[in-house]
């Protein structure tokens, strides 16, 4: 059985599409990018959303429960929370 040029081109195209889909799927934020984006979010919003901050911290991974609790407690204070303290706690991650 002879492989024609069209079949080879089709196989290469299918492999390229599968590779593209795989690369898009494994593309993730790094820890530094996540921390920087979270810091920007806190600077922009005077009262950051607690659930959003918790999800971002969980996605970073490797954060101790004590540090996570301190950050969430500071975010829960709302208007009374100190942005600089939140940012310093996030930088410790």
Q: Within a domain: residue 21?
A: no
Q: What is the pLDDT of residues 31-49, one digit of tens each?
A: 788 888 888 998 888 888 8
pTM for this structure?
0.62
Q: Within a domain: residue 18?
A: no
Does the pLDDT of residue 29 top 70, yes or no? no
Number of separate domains in the chain: 1
Question: Of 44, 81, 50, nearest to 68 (Cα)?
Answer: 50
At residue 35, the pLDDT reads 86
- Are 93 and 57 in contact, with CB atoms under 8 Å apart? yes
Domain that holds residue 54: 31-91
What percent of the chain is modeled with pLDDT above 90?
A: 12
At residue 28, the pLDDT reads 66
């Amino acid at each position: 059985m002879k492989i024609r040029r069209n079949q080879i081109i089709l196989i290469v195209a299918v492999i390229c599409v599968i590779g593209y889909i795989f690369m898009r799927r494994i593309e993730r934020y790094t820890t530094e990018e996540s921390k920087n984006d979270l810091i920007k979010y806190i600077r922009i919003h005077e009262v950051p959303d607690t659930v959003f901050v918790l999800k971002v911290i969980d996605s970073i991974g490797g954060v101790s429960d004590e540090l996570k609790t301190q950050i969430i407690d500071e975010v829960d204070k709302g208007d009374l929370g100190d942005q600089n303290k939140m940012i310093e706690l996030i930088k410790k991650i």
